Structure formats: structure tokens, C-alpha cells
Structure 1
Amino acid sequence: MIRIQRAGERYPGGDPAAGIETRHALSFGPHYDPDNLRFGALLACNEERLAPGAGFDEHPHSHTEIVTWVVEGELTHHDTAGHTTVVRPGDLQRLSSAGGVRHVERNDADVPLVFVQMWLAPLSPGGEPSYEVVRGLGEPYALPEGDARLRVHRPAAGGSVAVPAADFAYVHVVRGTVRLDDGTPGTGSGDELAAGDAARLTDAGDRTLVATADAEVLIWEMRDRRKALG
């Protein structure tokens, strides 16, 4: 199965008057759709835009793996486990909230901040919070706590990227445009995806993304935990 979600189909959120604009891919807060609660381990995929000086005041999280990819600007992070960092484009931030942690996310720079934040359900609840930043991510990022792997690709126009033949694969287009082939060899046909669009693939087999313009794409590869338990 392949499900395409266009950027304009995301649920609006945030607080525009405070300089916070959010677009949710999955049910979030007041936006509840029983058919759109999660995808594999993925609980949320939020596009966030913070104006200079805007941010999220201290708030709690628990039993969630929070992965953040900065697109533009600088994200300032503080948490109650003692971490204070600035995350920039090309850096990946992971916060394992485990049994509970509180954090602050702000744009302390004088330019707009754009980032994608993804929440995943952990294999086991509880434990101690942990945190890391990977500077200039170039390799696939393994998230064993969520039984998932994130790949970041930047194909130039005409280049191609393989989509893993996983139980669940989630493709999010950060910038540019790509074409997701329809599985028919040699036809060059398929869905065109632009910035903010996403594709969810379930047991879809090997597929390919072809960049129709220089692009940046995030791809989550996830296992079906029910199969693992079986």
C-alpha cells in the first residue's frame, strides 16, 4: 500500500500570533482522525516554523523518541537532564524522553527557523532520558530504541534514491521535488512529491525516488513489531 499526503493536507497548528506555525502529518492535539493516529513506530511528523525570538516554553515528554532535523536557521535546546545545545542544518538531534524529561525549544537567532520533528514510540517504556546531537549527519541513523532507521538523501536533479523494502517506509520531502515510481519497470511514471509532501509505504517492495529537481528527503525505515513478536 502507498498513501500520499500532500503538504496542504497537513493539520494546521502552533500559535501564529506568537510566531509559531506547525503542520502535523498525523493526528495531534485537537486534530484527531482514528485512521491517522500513527504509521509504524511514527507517532508524529511535524513541520515547525519559528520566527526570531519565538519558541516552545518548558514542557514535558515521556515514553517518546524525539528526532529533530533542522532545515534552516538554528534551534536552541535546553532540557532538565542538563543539556543545552544549538542545532543547525545538517545536524540531527535525538531526545529519548524515557520516564520523563522537560525541555525548551527556541529560535534565539535573528533569522527564521524551520525544522522537522518526528516522534516515535519506543520498544520499552520508562528508563532514564538520554540525548545526543549528530553533527553533519552523513550515514543512516539507527534508532534501536524505536526499532527504526532514518536515512537522509540529497539527490541532484536526475539522481535516484532507493526506498527500502521495509514493513513500513515513510518518505518526507524537505525541499525540491522527486517522483516516486509506481513499481512498473521502465515506465518512468509515478507520483510527483514536492516540499512538505510525504509518502507512506507498507510492504510496498522495492521502490525508487527520482529527483526532478535538486532535493532533500528523509526516509524512515521501520519494522512491523507484530511480526517481531510473532
Structure 2
Amino acid sequence: MDVRRADERYPGGDPATGIASRHAFSFGPHYDPDNLRFGALLACNEEHLAPGTGFDEHPHSHTEIVTWVVEGELTHRDSTGHETLVRPGDVQRLSSAGGVRHVERNDAAVPLTFVQMWLAPLDPGGDPSYEIVRGIADSTPYALPQAGAMLHVRRLTPGERTAVPDGAYLYVHVVRGGVRLAGAELAPGDAARITDAEGVDAVALGEAELLVWEMAGR
């Protein structure tokens, strides 16, 4: 198990314009050849957008993009005609496939925080697709077969114990609160990368929310 702390993330965005980003993997000008991906996961970005700010239209291709809003409301528009408001508890997926363009903004009057995760597809190319699951229930897995991956959302009460899935690659991101995972204490923004996971569990140190990626070997 490899634990990465929140303060080890690469800073990004443009704080002067109200956009602050924290990257868990090599991203943009922050290149680390030893930190390019983990399993299918290529990026896990924490994005903080002030009201009225956002990312203007930009392209993606050959990437599965999954977004989880922590607080606030994300406005999404893409070149395939989807326009959506994404709120806490929703899982949004954009399969960029052969190519798509989109806009992400905070059009609300309060700050926006979201976690965006990029995964490599098993087969590149194809047509873009989009899905949003409103208010996903705790412990309900969200399958991403395009990347050979499954997302598990766990919301824990203080002292609650939960098993995390076994798998070739397991990525655990702490959204809020704290947990003890296989003996290590993780705080908000911390993450653990586990290979050949088997029999691992997490115990909440308070109210906690986790995003857990279960990924097949490649």
C-alpha cells in the first residue's frame, strides 16, 4: 500500500482567477515519470472553483472522465448536446472516445469543489457517450466496463468498519472525514494505492466519505 498525502499533490489551475487544482498524478507542466498512472487511473484532480469561474471549452479524447461534486453545483456542457447540473451525490461520466469538447463552470453563487478522475479505456476510439446517476446510494457500485473498473462510494458513521474490494488495483480517495485503512490513518485529500488487495478494511475516525476504485489488472 502506497499512501499519498493531500499536501503531496501537484498544485495547478490559476488561483488568481479563482481556479485552484490539486493533482494526484503527473498533469500539465508537473511531469513525474514515476507517477503517470495507477491501474487504469490517469488522474485524480481536486478542483476548487470560485463563483462565476470555470474551464472554457476544451477537448478530450480516449479518456473516461468521472466527476464527483463535493460541495456546490457544477454546470456541464459538451459538444454532443448534453447540458447538466451536477450536484453532491451524483456520479457523472463522460466517455470522450474519439473526441469530445466540453465546458465546466461554477455558475452558482457559492464555491464549488469537485473531484474528477480520468481512466484509460480498454479500447480507444468509438463514439462519445454521457451518463449521470442522480444521488447514488451508499455502497452501490458504479460500473465502468469501458475501463475495466468499478467505483464504490462509501459514507461511514464514526467507528463504522467497511471492507474494501479485493482487486489487482485499488485506489482509495478520502473525500471528507478520516479513516484508518490497513493500519494507516488517512485525512481528507489523502489517497492509498493498493496492489493485489485482499482482506483490506477501513474504519471511520469520524463521519467519512470515500471514493474507492476497484480496477482489473492489465
Same fold (TM over 0.5): yes
TM-score (norm 2): 0.98
Q: Which amino acid aligns with 2:79?
A: T
Q: Secondary structure at the match of 1:89?
A: coil
Q: Secondary structure at the match of 1:154?
A: strand
Match of 1:107 in 2: 106
1:221 and 2:187 are equivalent in the alignment: no
Q: Secondary structure at the match of 1:8?
A: helix
Alignment of 1:85-164 (within 5 A): 85-138=84-137, 139-164=140-165
1:56 and 2:49 are equivalent in the alignment: no
The whole-number CA distance in structure 2 between the counterparts of 1:77 and 1:34 is 31
Match of 2:186 in 1: 193
**Which residues of structure 2 form unaligned runs of 5+?**
none
After TM superposition, where is structure 1 displaced by more than 6 Å over at least 4 residues in a row? none
Q: Secondary structure at the match of 2:16?
A: helix
Give per-residue Cα distances to partners, 1:78-103, cap 9 Å, x unaligned. 00000000000000100000000000
Match of 1:8 in 2: 7
Match of 1:84 in 2: 83
Alignment of 1:8-27 (within 5 A): 8-27=7-26
The whole-number CA distance in structure 1 between the counterparts of 2:96 and 2:109 is 29
The whole-number CA distance in structure 2 between the counterparts of 1:6 and 1:47 is 13
Contact 2:165–2:197 (8 Å) recurs in 1: no
TM-score (norm 1): 0.93
Shift of 1:171: 0.2
Match of 1:202 in 2: 195
The whole-number CA distance in structure 1 between the counterparts of 2:199 and 2:24 is 24
Q: Which amino acid aligns with 1:4?
A: V
Give per-residue Cα distances to partners, 1:194-227, cap 9 Å, x unaligned. 00000000013211100011100000000112xx
Rg (Cα) greater in structure: 1
The whole-number CA distance in structure 2 between the counterparts of 1:204 and 1:215 is 21
**Which residues of structure 1 form unaligned runs of 5+?**
182-189, 226-230
